[in-house]
Structure formats: C-alpha cells, structure tokens
Amino acid sequence: MARIQLKTISHTYHPPDLPEEEKAYAVSSLDISWGDGTSNALLGPSGCGKTTILNIISGLLQPTAGQVLVDDQDVTRLSPRQRRIAQVFQFPVVYDSMNVFDNLAFPLRNQGLPEQSVRKKVQEVAEILDLQDYLTNPPAKLNAAEKQKISLGRGIVREDTAAVLLDEPLTVIDPKLKGSMRRKLRQVQRDLQKTMIYVTHDQHEALTFADDVTIVKDGRLVQKGSPEELHSEPASPFIGYFIGSPGMNILGCSLKGEELRFQDFSLGLSPEFLSRIRGTGPDLQLGIRPEFIRVSPEPGENTVPFEVAVIENTGAYWVVTYVKESLRIKARVPESMRVQEGQKHYLAFPEDRVNLFQNEQRVI
C-alpha cells in the first residue's frame, strides 16, 4: 500500500504542436495527495476530468506536464504494471474465456507466482468478496455486481498492489445490488487497508465510501476534505450546491452597514457575525442548506415572509420551494407541519448555519 501524489499535473488531449492558446486542458495544475491505506473519492460532474485524472494515476495516460508519485517515488514514466496500480472500470471487465478462478489468478500467474501460492491467494480473495461458490463458473453467467467483484478481485489479489482505482464501478449495477456492493467495497477497503480512489459523479456514493473526498470541476481541484467538512464548510457556492440533496441555497446579497441586503428584504446581523466578516467587500453570496432554514407560520424576530410554491414529499419530510419575487429557496420542512401551496411562511436563517462567499470563495 502506498501514498499517491499528483504534482502540478496538467493534461491536454490536443497535439503538442497546437499553439498554447488554442489548447483546451482536461485537467490543469492539480496538486493532490492521497494518504496510505485511505479510502478516497474523486467527485465531480460529468466531463470534469475525473477519468483523465484516474488514467494519469494508473499510467494509462501520460500527463502533458507534472509528476505522479507513489510513495515519493516518481512513476510518471512507468507503465501501469510497474506502478502496481489496479483499476476497476465503469463496466465489468472479465476475461470471458477463463472461469472465475482463472480470472482472479491471472495477474498472479502473469507475475510468475508458483501455482500453490496462486491457489492460496485466490481462495483468500474469493472469500473476502463472497465469490468462493462461483470459482469454477464461467463469468458470463454471473450478474454485473459479481463480475465487478471479479474485476476488483484481480486488483486486490496482488500483494504488491499500491492502490486500487475505481472508475464509477456501480454504473451498470442493478439498483437493488448497489447498496450491498457499496458496503462490500467499503468493507474490503477497511479490512485490507488498501489505498483506494473511487471516482464518481454521484455524491451519495462518494460520501458513503470515502473518508476523504476530492472535488474537481473543469479540471481543477476545488476542495478536498472529509464528507462533514464538504457539507458544512463548502469552499465555494458550487460545492455547496453540488453536495447535499437538495443543494445549498445560494442568494446574492450585499453588506450595507449592519445588515445583509437582498433584492427586497434585508437581514440584521449580530455584532459577533459582523466582526467575523469585517474586511470583505460589499458583494457577497449567502449560502444556507435547506435543512438549516427555520420555517414558521408565524412571524418572528429577523424572519422573512416567503410564499410556498412547490411541495415535494420525500416520505420523511417535505422539501418546499419558497418564492419571493424572483428569489427561490428550498427548505426542509417536517411532515408534522401543514403546508399548502400559496401559504405564507416566515423563514429565519440562523447565523451559525450561514455560509458567506465572495468571488466564488468561502468567506465564512
């Protein structure tokens, strides 16, 4: 197991003879480090460069610039095999002409391991992945989840594997099996303490799998941290909106004296809060998660009247979309509260739950 580091990695798919200003970079100047034996996720919307990053780590792609380090050793010019990095692809890759046992044994036999140790290792891995009953079966008969386990098995069967990369491994898996597969991946990571990097555009998968989540947008690193950090302290409005379901409400506002002015209402601020944002410019964005907005049918101190526009029932609570002029805000409302479209509710924004952003950067 090993530590994986990216140092100022940039990559463009354009040919090198193209003038620099015409090149589009899939990823640019990335500096990321993943600790030894950790479970990590690489999260970002489709087309943000996740797969490019993954292929650069595994060595299937040579970056245009920058270095890849495995345990502080520069492996940028080494082949995937030499880097000892395994990869699980979006759709299951199994060797159809071999049975499950031979599939799992393939990387070991390629290493020239004696047959006795091959058998022992394969048995071990099959037990970890609950594949021991299928060892003599042809993989064609198995479902996508089991095939994906074989794929993973080929990665973890080698003792010297430095890291396992998972590229949206649950994409083609039956929704019913997704949950158990996700738990299996988590458990395998915990038990084996192998460095794993899980790439996905699905925040739920990322946050449940990883202790450390890296968010990438347009080929750039936007934030790296624990799921809790990303949730409560997003580095930018994008992350606030991207993480969480529904995402964070982002409202444009400006600081005038001791209050925040919105389109047609304003919020008074406490002296402590004001002191924390002193020195920022006037143009700000306020972010607040739907679950932290306090909703009441009666007016109270520092509340703003909003009208109920859309009610969505999630089963456990309502997600209500409120409107005021052109402003739209989503809030989570307990089911015990009676909500009807067109009703007027009073919304409060607790200061300790409020995030402020300026120029796409977090202020507080």
Partner 1 sequence: MSNRAWLFLIPALVLLSISAFIPLMTVINYSLHYIFAGSAPTYVGFENYVEVLNDPAFLKALGRQMVFSLMILVVEVPLGIGIALAMPRKGKGVALTLVFLGIPLLIPFNVVGIIARVFTQSSIGVVPEFFALFNYDYNVSLHTTDAILTIFFLDVWHWTPLVALLCYAGLQSIPDAFYQAAQIDGASAWKTFRYVTLPKLRPVLIIGVLLRFMDSFKIYAEPLLLTGGGPGDATTFLSLHVARKAESYELGYAGASSIIYLFIVIVFSYLFFQLLTNIGTGENK
Interface with partner 1 (CB under 8 A)? 58, 60, 79-81, 85-87, 89-91, 93, 95-99, 102, 106-107, 110-111, 136-138, 140, 151, 154-155
Shortest CB 50 distance to partner 1, Å: 15
CB nearer partner 1, residue 73 or residue 79: 79
Tokens in use for 233? 């302290």
Any alpha helices (H) in 21-168, and if so which ranges? 50-58, 80-83, 100-111, 115-128, 144-156
Contacts of 186 (CB under 8 A, 6+ apart): 39, 208, 209
In the bound state with partner 1, the residue whose beta carbon lies nearer, of 93 and 277, is 93
How far apart are CB 144 and partner 1 at their closest, in Å?
A: 14
- Supply the minimum distance, in Å, between the C-beta of residue 172 and partner 1: 12
Quote the distance between the C-alpha of residue 297 and its chain's center: 37
Is omega for the bond preceding 246 within 30 degrees of 0, making it cis? yes
Q: How far is the CB of 59 from partner 1 (least distance, A)?
A: 8
As measured in angstroms, the least distance from the Cβ of 113 to partner 1 is 11
Q: Which is nearer to partner 1, 68 or 286 (CB)?
A: 68
279 burial (CB, 10 Å; 0-12 / 13-18 / 19+) is exposed
CB 18 to partner 1: min, Å? 17
Q: If we measure between CA atoms, which residue out of 256, 276, 279, 252 comes closest to residue 268?
A: 256
CB of 150 to partner 1, least distance (A): 11
Task: Between 133 and 301, name the residue whose CB sits nearer to partner 1.
Answer: 133
Residue (110 or 270) nearer to partner 1, CB: 110
- Exposure string over 124-149, b if 16+ CB within 10 A, otherwise e: ebbebbebeebbeeebeebebbbbbb
Asked if 268 and 302 touch (Cβ cutoff 8 Å), the reply is yes
Give whichever of 93 and 274 is closer to partner 1, judged by the CB atom.
Answer: 93
Which amino acid belongs to residue 292?
F
- Which residues fall within 8 angstroms of residue 273, CB to CB, at 6 or more apart? 351
Which residue's CB is nearer to partner 1, number 25 or number 106?
A: 106
Nearer residue to partner 1 within complex by CB, 79 or 187 = 79
CB 126 → partner 1: shortest distance, Å?
16
- Please state the φ and ψ torsions of residue 86, each to the nearest 5 degrees: -100, 155
Task: Report the run of H or E that residue 333 belongs to, with start and end.
Answer: strand 327-334
- 125, 157 Cβ separation under 8 angstroms: yes
Query: Rounded distance, CA 173 to CA 345, Å?
Result: 42
Closest to 286 (Cα-Cα) out of 308, 309, 269: 269
How far is the C-alpha of 37 from the C-alpha of 49, rounded, in Å? 24
Task: Work out how close the CB of 135 gets to partner 1 at its nearest, in angstroms, rounded to a whole number.
Answer: 11
**CB-nearer residue toward partner 1: 141 or 183:** 141
